[in-house]
Amino acid sequence: MNEAKPLAGARIELLDTTLRDGTQAEGVTLSVRDKIAVAEALAAFGVDLIEGGWPGSNPRDADFFEAMKGRTLPGGARLTAFGATRRRDLAPEDDPSLAALLEAETPVVTLFGKSWTLHAREALGVSLEANLAMIRESVAFLRAAGRRVVYDAEHFFDGYAEDPAYALATLEAAAEGGADTLVLADTNGGRLPEEVFAAAAEVVRRFPGRTVGVHTHNDAELAVANSLAALRAGARHLQGTVGGYGERAGNANLTSLIPTLVLKYGAELKAADRLEGLRELAHFVDERANQTPNRRAPYVGDAAFAHKGGVHVSAVLKNPRTYEHVEPERVGNRRRFLVSDLSGRSNLLAKLAEAGLELAKEEAGPLLEEVKALERDGYAFEGADASFFLLARRLRGAPEPFRVDAFRSWTGGDAHGRWQAEATVQLTVADRSVHTAATGQGPVGALDNALRKALLNFFPELEAVGLADYKVRVLEGQEAGTASVVRVLVEMKGSEGRWSTVGASANVIEASLKALGDGYAYALVRAGLA
Amino acid sequence: MNEAKPLAGARIELLDTTLRDGTQAEGVTLSVRDKIAVAEALAAFGVDLIEGGWPGSNPRDADFFEAMKGRTLPGGARLTAFGATRRRDLAPEDDPSLAALLEAETPVVTLFGKSWTLHAREALGVSLEANLAMIRESVAFLRAAGRRVVYDAEHFFDGYAEDPAYALATLEAAAEGGADTLVLADTNGGRLPEEVFAAAAEVVRRFPGRTVGVHTHNDAELAVANSLAALRAGARHLQGTVGGYGERAGNANLTSLIPTLVLKYGAELKAADRLEGLRELAHFVDERANQTPNRRAPYVGDAAFAHKGGVHVSAVLKNPRTYEHVEPERVGNRRRFLVSDLSGRSNLLAKLAEAGLELAKEEAGPLLEEVKALERDGYAFEGADASFFLLARRLRGAPEPFRVDAFRSWTGGDAHGRWQAEATVQLTVADRSVHTAATGQGPVGALDNALRKALLNFFPELEAVGLADYKVRVLEGQEAGTASVVRVLVEMKGSEGRWSTVGASANVIEASLKALGDGYAYALVRAGLA
């Protein structure tokens, strides 16, 4: 009994809730403009349903739905508004939250109700019978207004474990009200895949005329596995978020589930055609949500196909299948070889060859020593290819494109919140020196402006080169008593693309100057100007 | 067939490979001193086997084993050294890598060999028969030297999918050599739980006299589920890392697996008694590995039991089971209520009541408005309880403990890498002003020193208060053309514990001053001095 149903060829509907459950993650906030941009990106990627927010719960979500009126999303994606069943003491037509759902004017509504006796009794304070009526009547009210209703059975698996008959009765109430999709939620994220499989299989068996869906959370790091378990049991509607953002430990990560379903199970998803855009989508959402992209994210992270151990690198150079479960290009990612003191010489040489610098084997030893020494001082070359390239070039005795003789950067302010920042730089190229100054938004911005201004005297070609990103990391003292070291990572852009550099020092300005200096030096070397 | 075996009461051996596979993660580096400290923490926590490194592959790992000679780990934990089967052209007694394993003098050796025909042929370039001999002879050599051998069957599941008979033959060779534990590895991290279950069940059936183990990677976000699948199929040895650090997307996360096995499956782990130390262990490893703790980590992250949605907060206040899958205290974590513009009034009032500030219901509205406005400017109060407390206090009209009238901070350097930082602060308390200056490691350190020095004139009690942590985040411009905003989070410590504050500005010095100012102001308010 409860045999797995094949997923090959199965059509699965995707509902993305990044804009609703995703914003319940700590630290995630999206403005109305962000939400519109993310909705459009999701639609273009091939998501079927986009849950835009909970219009009854906060004004920003209501503003979002207002702003979306009249807009058509690409790819036939449809918006859905999220909300709760009616209040216990109000008829559906008098309930302000249901009214807000209708005012959102979305073709689909995701309505959640209680499946777990504990929640009906303690969170809502209603009888089990009253809860069933609330579900049935709320769904019917939305159906009568012409909405498709996706019914989210909150805490379904917890409820099913404690009182299966009641949990099933809540689904029955939603079905009677007219919901075509019954979504089983592991709201607290603590259920196990075998429990999810068994319960979902039972629901699929009992509701042959409805689509069964699944909505999981990651509190036991099983959200992806639990989603797959429900789909294998016959669910055909999947909810999750880009990057797995969501309340507490997060939601099921669509960025992992989508490629697994397409590439490993052969399921039919509308997004299957756009899989090469997966990494870009993930990074776009991170940027909008102001989240540092998770480097270790499966499929889409910078490290997902990054090889560090020497044995791995030499095997991947022979055949990538040896240490890659899928081809990185399928999800828009790329293979990387990392340089660190764990590296063998093959990492170093492969990496430099990528950048067009052919090194003899005997030169790799001293380079590796230098990398080790600098990493002890707080540098990290794994994310700073351009600094690594310059380091190798320096070791071969190549001259520096310029030298910074002195710098100064200051910031001052008063009680009225007015502040200023200014920097000076003295710089020499060949035998000519300049001494210049600039202001900026802050001490680092001023320093960058002054450095760039000084260099433009010699290299007008740098006009097209500029700072694209700047990151600071305070490395906590490794041993008691030593001062913290600051590591600065800089990304620069120019007509030849983007490159990254690193600087480290106990002083953030000094570390920034090193990283910025490498950034401009790399631009000059690549352009053949030094 | 292949029925799941019950895990309740099953004794599972834990092998932690944070010190070996964990350091293959991008950005993770551990010094010898770090490794010793982590090994001791793992042992005290109740890990059975601690894989310390690969002595044949890099000097640091060899140094670690040298340093561990003669040390006894707490709790009966044993060290294991990791290495490969002999080279194809050398007898075991002539193989330098096997010699390095013996020189490590660990009671246990983890030896890995090839299970997948692709790897034998392409990575090693040997015949399938020769690979079997390499496995058998290498294990036998280590056994003859008195070592317990844990045999890691690299790529077992990939090999089993392509050529099951050969994959099983490699295990047979290891068993013949004398390995008592056969570990099935999903090295590329791309296998599915049902595949892992079926293959592991078959191995358990075929090798009744051996312990079967599992080692998974997270490339499809299934490492935890795949480990559980193998254990449910009868494996009784589990490998993973703290925090899931490891090559590419990482290894199976023991920080999630341990509590799930103990609290949900009732398995017998030595670490079960120390579960309350789980969060501390995870944070200790992060600190040593210089990794920002993953806020969304299941069980141990700061957000694992953090409630943001208003509905969640009001239910949890009634009964925590409504939105928590386990009690946070069981894993050494704690419940948190987050404040953001998604918050309802119950979040705000609950949070302030925690801090001893009772607010009337009608005061919550304006506070929520102010929180929203500041979050739009780049503030984030979720991680800055002390700044939130001061904000609420200000709205009630409480006077500021002090006022900064002006500040200046500068840094300068020369071509020899010599640099200096100095700051000045003008500050008023009641009607008295001071104007003072201090130097520091960098512009922010100098500013903190000057601010603290100025305040000590008025409040000698601040002697015990100081900066514990300082974090900078550059918020990328939300819309093109706007300047980036810098958010600074400061953690301070004093005799009453630790507290966090936030500042935001386009200028990092300005943002730092705001966060530092709140930090000292909070200390004064809590001590009843303002």
Residues of B in contact with A325 (CB under 8 A): 188-190, 219-220
User: A96-103 and A128-144 helices cross at what angle (nearest 10)?
Assistant: 30
Distance from CA of B428 to the nearest CA of A (A): 10
CA–CA dist B153, B139 (Å, integer): 12
Q: What is the pLDDT of residue A59?
A: 78
A:378-407 residues touching chain B, CB 8 A cutoff: 380, 382-383, 403-407
On whether any CB of chain B is under 8 Å from the CB of A439, the answer is no
Whether residue B239 contacts residue B224, with contact meaning beta carbons closer than 8 Å, is answered with no
High-pLDDT (> 90) share of chain A, %: 69
CB neighbour class for B128 (10 Å; exposed up to 12, middle 13-18, buried from 19): middle
Averaged pLDDT for residues A439-456:
93
Distance CA A519, CA A272 (A): 38
Q: Report how far residue B526's alpha carbon sits from residue B386's, in angstroms, rounded to the nearest whole number.
A: 10
Under an 8 A CB cutoff, do B228 and A192 touch?
Answer: yes
Rounded to 10°, the helix A361-376/A345-354 angle is 100
- pLDDT tier at B342 (50, 70, 90 boundaries)? low
Out of B27, B324, B404, name the one closest to residue A415 (CB): B404
Q: Chain A: nearest CA to B285, how far in angstroms?
A: 12
Contact A84 B295 (CB under 8 A): no
CB proximity under 8 Å: A 303-322 to B: 303-312, 314-315, 318-319, 321-322
Query: With 90 as the cut, is the pLDDT of residue A236 above it?
Result: yes
Taking contacts as CB-CB distances below 8 angstroms, the residues of chain B near A225 are 193, 222, 224-225
Predicted local confidence at residue B483, as pLDDT: 56
Segment B494-514 shows an average pLDDT of 88
For residues A387 and A502, what is the distance between their CA atoms, to the nearest angstrom?
A: 6
pLDDT score for B481: 32
Mean pLDDT of all residues in B164-183: 98
Q: Rounded to whole angstroms, what are the CA distances from B395 to A292, B351, B360, B378, B389?
A: 33, 16, 12, 20, 10
Give the A window 107-136 contacts with B, CB below 8 Å: 118-119, 122-123
Contact B116, B136 (CB under 8 A): no
Nearest CB neighbour to A508, from listed B122, B248, B442: B442
B398-435 pLDDT, tens digit per residue, is 999 999 999 999 999 888 878 889 999 999 998 999 99
Residues listed for chain B: 530
B1 pLDDT band, cuts 50/70/90, is very low
For residues B429 and A425, what is the distance between their CA atoms, to the nearest angstrom? 38
For residues B130 and B173, give the distance between their C-alpha atoms in angstroms, rounded to a whole number.
11
CATH superfamily of A403-526: Alpha-isopropylmalate synthase LeuA, regulatory domain (3.30.160.270)
The pLDDT of A443-468, averaged and rounded, is: 93
- Among A290, A474, A513, whose Cβ lies nearest the Cβ of B470? A474
pLDDT top residue among B249 and A379 = B249
**What was the pLDDT predicted at A470?**
80
DSSP A222-265: -HHHHHHHHHHTT--EEEEBGGG--STT-B-BHHHHHHIIIIIS
Q: Where are the alpha helices (DSSP H) in B385-432?
A: 385-395
Report the pLDDT value the prediction gives residue B236, as an integer from 0 to 100. Answer: 98
CB contact under 8 A, A441 and B484: yes
- What pLDDT, on the 0 to 100 scale, is given for residue A275? 97
Tokens 């002006």 found at:
B406
Q: What is the pLDDT of residue B477?
A: 44
E strands in B267-333? 306-307
For A299-316, how does the pLDDT look when each residue is reduced to its tens digit (9 = 90+)?
Answer: 999 899 998 877 888 888
pLDDT at B455 over 50: yes
A276-280, B227-231, B455-459, B498-502: range with lowest mean pLDDT: B498-502
Q: Is A250 on the interface with B (CB under 8 A)?
A: yes
Interface residue B433 vs chain A (CB under 8 A): no
Predicted pLDDT of residue B478: 38
As given in the structure block, the two tokens for residue A233 are: 């049991």
B369 at interface of A, judged by CB pairs closer than 8 A? no
Superfamily per CATH, domain A13-288: Aldolase class I (3.20.20.70)
Q: Which residue in the block uniquely carries the two structure tokens 């492969």? A: A350
C-alpha torsion A15→B197→A308→A298, nearest 10: 0
Chain A contact present for B299, CB below 8 A: yes
Tokens of B92: 């075991």
Q: What is the mean pLDDT of residues B260-267?
A: 98
Reduced to 3 states (helix: H, G, I; strand: E, B; else coil), residue B203 is helix
Digit-coded pLDDT (tens) for A322-347: 999 999 999 999 998 877 655 667 77
- B residues 408-427 near A, CB within 8 Å? 408-415, 417, 419, 421
What's the whole-number mean pLDDT along residues B125-150?
97
Residue indicated by tokens 């700590």:
A26
pLDDT of A482 strictly over 50: no
Low-confidence winner among A136-145, A447-456, B30-39 (lowest mean pLDDT): B30-39
pLDDT tens by residue, A34-77: 899 999 999 999 999 999 999 988 778 889 999 999 899 999 99
Look at A315 and B119 and tell me if their CB atoms are within 8 Å: yes
Domain ranges of chain A: 13-288, 306-376, 403-526
pLDDT of residue A481: 32
Q: What is the pLDDT of residue A2?
A: 66
Give the pLDDT mean for A509-528: 94
Nearest CA-CA distance, residue B287 and chain A, Å: 8
Query: For residue B102, what are the contacts with CB-CB under 8 A and spacing of at least 6?
Result: B142, B145, B147
SS (H, E, C) B86-125: CCCCCCHHHCHHHHHHHHCCCCEEEEEEECCHHHHHHHHC
Which positions 327-366 of A are in contact with B (Cβ < 8 Å)? 338, 340-342
Q: B509 to chain A: which residues are within 8 Å by CB?
A: 411, 413, 419, 421, 442-443
Selected residue with higher pLDDT from A337 and A184: A184
Q: Reduced to 3 states, what is the DSSP secondary structure of residue B421?
A: strand
Burial class (CB in 10 A: 0-12, 13-18, 19+), B471: middle
pLDDT for residue A170 is more than 50: yes
pLDDT at A206: 98
Is the distance from CB of A106 to CB of A79 less than 8 angstroms? yes
CB pairs A-B closer than 8 Å: 361
Alpha carbons within 13 A on the beta-carbon side of B284: 18
Alpha-carbon torsion (A465, A470, A475, A481), positive or negative: positive
A249 and B303 within 8 Å at the Cβ level: the answer is yes
The encoded tokens of residue B240 equal: 């993973």
Assess whether pLDDT exceeds 60 at residue B132.
yes
Give the whole-angstrom CA distance, residue B412 versus residue B423: 12
Which of residues 63 through 82 in chain B touch A, CB cutoff 8 A? Answer: none
Per-residue pLDDT, A1: 47
CB < 8 Å from B in window 481-510 of A: 483-484, 486, 505-510
CB pair distance less than 8 Å for A58 and B342? yes
Closest residue to A507, CB basis, from B228, B229, B441? B441
Distance from CA of B304 to the nearest CA of A (A): 5
Contacts of residue B68, Cβ cutoff 8 Å, sequence gap at least 6: B36, B39, B52, B79
- Give the whole-angstrom CA distance, residue A182 versus residue A193: 19
- Does the CB of A301 have a partner CB in chain B at under 8 Å? yes
Mean pLDDT of A216-228: 98
User: Which residues, other chains included, contact B188 with Cβ-Cβ below 8 Å and sequence gap of 6+?
Assistant: A323, A324, A325, B155, B158, B217, B219
Q: Is the dihedral of CA B367, B370, B372, B375 positive or negative?
A: negative
Instruction: List pLDDT tens digits, range B384-397.
Output: 889 999 999 998 88
CA proximity to B108, closest of B45, B17, B243: B17
- Lowest-confidence range among A261-265, A398-402, A425-429, B347-351? B347-351
CA contacts within 13 A on the Cβ side of A450 = 29
Which pLDDT belongs to residue B503?
93
Question: Under a CB-based contact definition with an 8 Å cutoff, are residues B332 and B45 in contact?
Answer: no
**Range of weakest confidence among B26-35, B115-124, B209-218, B355-364:** B355-364
Q: So what's the pLDDT on residue B480?
A: 29
* Contact (Cβ atoms closer than 8 angstroms) between residue A14 and residue A47: yes
**Residue count (chain A):** 530
Of A224, A296, A414, the CB nearest to B405: A414
Span B427-456, mean pLDDT? 93
Whole-angstrom distance, CA of residue A181 vs CA of residue A108:
11
- For the cut 80, the answer to whether the pLDDT of residue A189 exceeds it is yes
